[in-house]
Amino acid sequence: MCRSSDVPVERGIYDWPTVSGDTINGIPRVDPRVRPAAWKRRMQRLVATRPGAVVHRVIAAPLDASIMKATGGRVSLALGVLPVVVLTSTGARSGQRRETPVSYFTDGDDVILMASNYGGARHPSWYHNLLAHPECEVHIGQRGGSFVARETEGAERDRLFSLAVDLYRGYAKYAQQTEGIRTIRVFRLTPGG
């Protein structure tokens, strides 16, 4: 894992380190190898617990898309613990637009999303939406744009999952919780659409 001194960064939205202030279709680049501040690591450990995940899933996540939209992306209930975007996908069965706050990082010129569902036994609904309708949008406030999602597999999936664990160790706990039930899927979102 890289130390913050190894990677040129600046503080981006929610004070999360972004790579060179550059964006991908309006979304700030986030290097998962940059070690977050000590207070963020403590908050991440709290959120990675079962009670912390329940509080975030039941209270924070349902409100986050509206709060981020109302504040132009300046406020998120993720409290800077993880970088968050709002994913707009098309419902797999309903065909309705769905807005879901999800944590992300970047890899090359793509945005990476983890379908962890807090270590739950089922994939999150947005996972099924992206499989059925890969064209999506990703926003932070007014910034963002269109993307095309692709589920990763094999060595690529494993490498990206390892980077996700660098970003947030809770993903390793979620993988333990889902072992033998399901594999946490990883999506690569490429600008376009």
Which residue did the predictor score with more confidence, 156 or 73?
156
Number of independent structural domains in the chain: 1
Count CB atoms within 10 A of the CB of residue 85: 29
Which residue do the tokens 């979102």 mark?
Answer: 189
Give me the pLDDT at residue 3, please. 34
CATH of the domain at 84: 2.30.110.10
Compute CA distances 103 → 58, 77, 95, 151, whole Å.
16, 12, 23, 16
Give me the pLDDT at residue 104, please. 95
Question: Mind listing the pLDDT tens digit for each residue in 115-172?
Answer: 999 889 999 999 999 999 999 999 988 889 999 999 999 999 999 999 999 998 889 9
Domain range enclosing 26: 4-191
Full-model pTM: 0.79
